[in-house]
């Protein structure tokens, strides 16, 4: 029973990664496709490949998700797995809702919200279960607030510098050069996405595998097995191929008309923010938040009127309701599963 439930959790976790490809992985290539620096098929291939590379470069974010959001190791394995699957279903439900609406929400915060909602529901019946509120504030809430501000500000500054440096250059030749440069900035951003988002599902699958003892994995282990890394990266890449077009349209044209120079500035800044938070802060930040704010920052250098602030405001509203919405759905799902399994 426990093994079957653990396998089901892993399948659902990979499904979450697939929906993550709808939402977040498309962010890495949206501006490059909209500026025609890359054709869609080439961009999708690049994103999938760099996601895989990024997923193999570290596990700090995966460890944060697995061990620092909720503490469930003191209860029965079956109960642990019910919590995890409830969290995943809550996150997937919100991901699919925002994908259907074409809004770039945060898969990261959907997942964390799902963990919090399911964990809180479980804590009402199991005193051993704890939601790590202090860690959530430090490693989720604070980065959620500051990373978009940093992305907007830095992209605005970088694009302003570009405008000054290249002010006397031929616009056609300059944009052509930035188109070529966007290939590298898109690759860097996709790698950063792999560092961040692929690791989040790694943490979930690690929790499930540890609960069931799959492959001899225990909660005390610090290393994420290679099979988990590759499975998560592959699922995100497949999701990007299948469903990323809606989000790309929103980010590539509905917020601001992005040209190659602004696309390069936004992608480069976003990649750096993702690297710093993954390697040094170990915080699971949102790729969507970072990329969207960077696009807004680079686009605002044209003029404030060039930005579609109505769409931008709707996106920000989606950001703020993502965690509580996913948490509420996960809470309800856990209550239902608790009654079904009599836990």
Name the average pLDDT for the chain. Answer: 84
Could you read off the pLDDT of 173-228 as tens digits, one per residue?
998 999 999 999 989 998 888 888 878 889 999 999 998 888 788 877 767 888 89
H or E element: which one contains 129?
none
Could you read off the pLDDT of 130-163 as tens digits, one per residue?
999 999 999 888 888 888 889 999 999 999 999 9
CA distance 248 to 241: 12
Distance of alpha carbon 11 from its chain centroid, rounded? 18
Could you read off the pLDDT of 266-303 as tens digits, one per residue?
999 999 999 999 888 888 888 878 888 898 899 888 87
pTM of the model: 0.85
Strand partners, 71: 130
Rounded to a whole number, what is the distance in angstroms from the first to the last CA of the chain?
A: 14
**Confidence at residue 246, expressed as pLDDT on a 0 to 100 scale:** 54
At 27, is the secondary structure helix, strand, or coil?
Answer: helix
Could you read off the pLDDT of 257-274 as tens digits, one per residue?
678 999 899 999 999 999
Neighbours of 165 (CB within 10 A): 10
**Confidence at residue 319, expressed as pLDDT on a 0 to 100 scale:** 77
**Confidence at residue 141, expressed as pLDDT on a 0 to 100 scale:** 87
Strand partners, 256: 307
Strand partners, 131: 70
Could you read off the pLDDT of 38-85 as tens digits, one per residue?
887 787 778 778 877 887 887 888 888 988 899 998 999 999 999 999
Record the tokens describing residue 114, joined without a space.
């799902």
**Confidence at residue 67, expressed as pLDDT on a 0 to 100 scale:** 87
Residue reference for tokens 């079956």 = 78
Q: Does residue 86 have a pLDDT over 90?
A: yes
Query: Where do the structural domains in the chain lie, given as residue ranges?
Result: 2-341
Return the ∠ at Cα 33 (arms to 149 and 58), rounded to 5°.
55
| DSSP symbol at 306 | G
Return the ∠ at Cα 226 (arms to 188 and 108), rounded to 5°.
55
**Confidence at residue 237, expressed as pLDDT on a 0 to 100 scale:** 73
Q: How confident is the model at residue 252 (pLDDT cuts 50, 70, 90)?
A: very low
Neighbours of 125 (CB within 10 A): 13
Record the tokens describing residue 231, joined without a space.
């499975």
**Confidence at residue 43, expressed as pLDDT on a 0 to 100 scale:** 78
Record the tokens describing residue 249, joined without a space.
């349209």
CA distance 189 to 172: 25
**Confidence at residue 332, expressed as pLDDT on a 0 to 100 scale:** 96
**Confidence at residue 27, expressed as pLDDT on a 0 to 100 scale:** 66
Q: How confident is the model at residue 87 (pLDDT cuts 50, 70, 90)?
A: very high
Segment of 10-19, 148-157, 250-259 carrying the highest mean pLDDT: 148-157
pLDDT above 90 as % of the chain: 34
**Confidence at residue 124, expressed as pLDDT on a 0 to 100 scale:** 95
What does residue 56 show for φ and ψ, rounded to 5 degrees? -90, -5
Q: Does residue 245 have a pLDDT over 60?
A: no
CA distance 117 to 122: 9
Burial class (CB in 10 A: 0-12, 13-18, 19+), 172: exposed
Q: What is the mean pLDDT of residues 106-129?
A: 92
Q: Does residue 115 have a pLDDT over 60?
A: yes
């Amino acid at each position: 029973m426990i093994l079957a439930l653990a396998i089901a959790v892993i399948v659902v976790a990979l499904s979450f990664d697939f929906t993550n490809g709808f939402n977040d992985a498309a962010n890495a290539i949206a501006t490059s496709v909209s500026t025609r620096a890359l054709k869609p098929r080439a961009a999708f291939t690049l994103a999938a490949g760099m996601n895989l590379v990024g997923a193999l470069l570290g596990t700090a974010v995966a460890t944060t998700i697995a061990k620092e959001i909720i503490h469930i190791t003191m209860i029965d394995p079956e109960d642990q797995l019910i919590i995890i699957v409830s969290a995943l279903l809550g996150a997937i439900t919100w991901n699919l809702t925002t994908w259907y609406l074409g809004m770039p929400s945060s898969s990261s915060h959907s997942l964390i919200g799902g963990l919090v909602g399911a964990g809180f529901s479980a804590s009402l019946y199991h005193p051993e279960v704890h939601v790590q509120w202090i860690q959530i504030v430090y490693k989720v809430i604070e980065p959620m607030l500051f990373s978009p501000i940093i992305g907007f500000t830095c992209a605005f500054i970088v694009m302003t510098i570009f405008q000054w440096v290249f002010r006397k250059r031929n616009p056609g030749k300059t944009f052509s050069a930035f188109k070529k440069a966007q290939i590298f900035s898109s690759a860097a951003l996709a790698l950063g996405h792999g560092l961040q988002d692929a690791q989040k599902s790694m943490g979930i699958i690690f929790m499930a595998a540890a609960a069931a003892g799959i492959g001899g994995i225990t909660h005390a282990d610090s290393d994420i097995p290679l099979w988990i890394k590759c499975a998560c990266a592959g699922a995100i890449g497949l999701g990007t191929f299948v469903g990323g077009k809606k989000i790309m349209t929103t980010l590539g044209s509905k917020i601001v008309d992005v040209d190659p120079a602004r696309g390069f500035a936004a992608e480069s800044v976003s990649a750096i923010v993702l690297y710093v938070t993954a390697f040094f802060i170990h915080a699971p930040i949102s790729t969507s938040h970072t990329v969207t704010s960077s696009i807004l920052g680079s686009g605002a250098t044209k003029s404030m009127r060039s930005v579609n602030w109505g769409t931008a405001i709707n996106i920000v509203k989606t950001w703020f309701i993502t965690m509580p919405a996913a948490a509420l759905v996960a809470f309800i799902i856990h209550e239902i599963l608790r009654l079904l399994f009599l836990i």
